[in-house]
Amino acid sequence: MALLISIGHDGWYTEEQLAEELRAIDPGADIRPISAPGNLEDITMLAVSALKGDLAAQLPNLQLVQKLGAGVDSIVAHPSVAPHVRVTRLKPLEPAQEIAEYCLAYVLRSQRNMAEHAASQSRSAWAPQAPKRAAETTVGVLGLGHIGGMSARLMRDMRFRVLGWSRSPKEITGVDCRHGEAALPQMLGICDYVCAILPSTPATRGLMEARMLAAMKPGATLINAGRGDLVDEAALAAALDKGTPGHAVLDVVSQEPLPADSPLWTHPQVTVTPHVSGWHLGDALRDVVENYRRLEAGEELLHEVDRQRGY
């Protein structure tokens, strides 16, 4: 039994770094970076950030794919992951807090007119503008799971009026929770900010298309920190040109990295960040090692995903 690590993209942890951190937690575990995989027949668990090519299909004894994060859309339906292979994710506290902070930062940037004040300074212009009041501002959070729930509670604690939206009914103190697709257009119409923290599933892909975007409040801001394929990007550009919504903050886009010739880079009403809203794994690395142990012991795994449901 061995755990193989393949990050699958640049610009984050390396396989060697992660292997070292995991071995520090359990020095006895057989943990291998993709650069030195050894005999592939030994591999029973594969830990990935993005699953590349047919790697999973090359591992004849693979039982578990562990996502090194939350979004499992690139794994659950991957043709190289046989139906019997189980999928687990992480539920780390630190990146959930980071994503909630990201949403709050962009809400406050607009509430406090920071872009306008920066533009005024560049003209040496002393141009006061009143900040907007939190109590008179409505923030909608799409997705009330591990990350969305934390974001909704943070917004509530900052005194915003908060609406939440999920697939099934939820109760969160101080948050007006709604559910189901039929409830979405009306909710979008009353939110000054819409923070989307949804997984990518057949039901959410393309959900924010022209009709949903038109249902948003004129001038509102859409913040997407979930998955890029939630938003029809051509429809978004056209909707922004008409002022509904008024601005989009995109930490995730349908093609990452965003191609250099994408019109999103230069659209005056779009802010792009390179998928950085949640970053550090923190204590969650312990759960990777724990799942390695549990797999060997035949025990219930931590944070197993429903492959049919997609999250």
- Give residues in contact with ligand NDP (CB under 6 A): 69-71, 95, 99, 143-148, 166-168, 197-201, 203-204, 225-227, 251-252, 275, 277-278, 311
With vertex at residue 159, the alpha carbon angle to CA 156 and CA 161, rounded to the nearest 5 degrees, is 65
Residue among 292 and 311 whose Cβ is closer to ligand NDP: 311
Q: Which residues are catalytic?
A: 227, 275
Least spacing, CB of residue 204 vs ligand NDP, in Å: 5
Residue type at 223 in one-letter notation: I
Residue among 103 and 295 whose Cβ is closer to ligand NDP: 103
Least spacing, CB of residue 29 vs ligand NDP, in Å: 25
Expressed in angstroms, the distance from the first to the final Cα of the chain is 27
Residue among 31 and 107 whose Cβ is closer to ligand NDP: 107
Residue 181 C-alpha from the chain's centroid: 20
Least spacing, CB of residue 42 vs ligand NDP, in Å: 30
Residue among 153 and 275 whose Cβ is closer to ligand NDP: 275
β-bridge pairing 221-224 and 193-196: parallel
β-bridge pairing 43-48 and 2-6: parallel
Closest CA to 245 of 196, 192, 206, 183: 192
Q: How far apart are CA 220 and CA 292, in angstroms?
A: 45
Least spacing, CB of residue 92 vs ligand NDP, in Å: 9
Extract the tokens encoding 100: 């909630």
